[in-house]
Amino acid sequence: MPGFEVFGAEEKKEIAEVLDTGVLFRYEFPSERRGIYKVRRFEEEFARYCGVGHAQAVTSGTAALKVALAAMGVGPGDEVITQGFTFVATWEAIFDVGAVPVFAEVDDTLNLDPADLEEKITPRTRAIIPVHMMGAPARMEEIMAIADRHGIPVLEDTAQAPGAAINGRKCGSFGLCGTFSFDPVKTITTGEGGMIVTDDEALWRRMSEYQDHGHDHVPNPGGRGGEGRSFIGFNYRMMELQGAIGLAQLAKLDGIIESQRRNKAALRQVVSQLPGVSFRTVLDPDGDNASFLAFFLPDAAAALKVNETLAANGAGAVYFANNTWHYYPKWEHLLAGSTLAKSGWPFKEADGRRRVQYDPQALPKSAAIMDRLLVYPVPIKLSDERLEQIAEAVKAAC
């Protein structure tokens, strides 16, 4: 699953070229860097890979969400719909721009349920964030049809699904923009880092400026222009070492996905022996980035019992119903309205009025799905010994 499994000479070569220049900053110093702009090249090649016109590199996948939302003009008084099965960063970024996250159900794709999405739209909805969880696409054609009908922009959270596609079209390219993460356990990694892709040049320009304190960037993305600023920004700049690693990892992405698909098929064949097992709906098997194998048992009791046996035999799966990072009812700080702000923001207004409160029972359809779900992360390198261990554990569970 994570790109660090294939670190090698390619990453070292790209990093060495940066170190030879002595320039780690992504902008300026043209004479010292001698034409070497790793982050800029990473952006250009990533945009080309995704089939879009523009890409903006930032410090993390979380920053990518924040920068995209800010550039879209989302802020206080707005609502943003996303799903109750995602990493906490998705809704942290919504809060951080001053908007309110509205959580919708997932369906058997483990991604945003289009039917519940439409139910959650209000006059205050300013964006929709479907999340391509665990490497497989959300129902983007249906989601885009709903969004277009209501005139609401879509931001695709593609943190866990670089390279995934629907009928040949890359995830991240369906909406107004798409965000990616390159943290230590992502399909390709730069240690930390993120990317936003879009075909909207004006949006890209705003993102480019916002992530660099509002600097105008008029001449080109390698310079900072005449120091004019149209709006305030912040610092979410990716540095050259990250861009260098990203270039090497991006060149390996298709090979990584090919290996994961092969290993996922082997794991699926093993897991298929479990009585009553069924598998997650993957809309386009040829577009699955195959970083996870998700499967269902008939009910929660069966899932827990099977996983207990798997774990006892050294091959436990992830039971996301108890996962505190990715599942709505387990986000205790969200449900309790916990914050460092003395005013209670973002859960309270400055005058103490309650702004938003979340009910842990609000997503019953998702709960019925998640309670039965077990997941195996799919490695890029799967040894025969590890596959045999999993097979023996499944046999014991049977």
**Catalytic machinery residues:** 186
DSSP string covering 289-325: ---EEEEE-SSHHHHHHHHHHHHHTT-PPB-GGG-TT
The distance in angstroms from the start CA to the end CA of the chain is: 27
What are the residues whose beta carbons fall under 8 Å from the beta carbon of 180, sequence distance 6 or more? 46, 61, 64, 158, 159, 162, 172, 194, 195, 196, 197
Longest dimension (CA), the chain: 68
Q: How far is CA 391 from CA 105, 267, 385, in A?
A: 33, 8, 10
Q: What angle do CA 9, 2, 326 make, to 5 degrees?
A: 155
Q: What does the DSSP 8-state code read for residue 287?
A: G
- Residue (of 161, 222, 172) closest to 196 by Cα position: 172
DSSP string covering 345-359: TTTB-TTS-B-----
Q: What angle do CA 372, 85, 319 make, to 5 degrees?
A: 35
Token digits of residue 59:
């410090």
314 neighbors 389 (Cβ within 8 angstroms)? yes
- Cα dihedral 165, 153, 143, 184 sign: positive
Cα 67 off chain centre by = 14
Token digits of residue 353:
């009025």
Inter-axis angle of helices 38-50 and 240-271, to 10 degrees?
40
d(CA 383, CA 398): 23
Q: How far is CA 63 from CA 58, 142, 365, in A?
A: 6, 27, 30
d(CA 142, CA 8): 41
Inter-axis angle of helices 384-397 and 300-312, to 10 degrees?
130
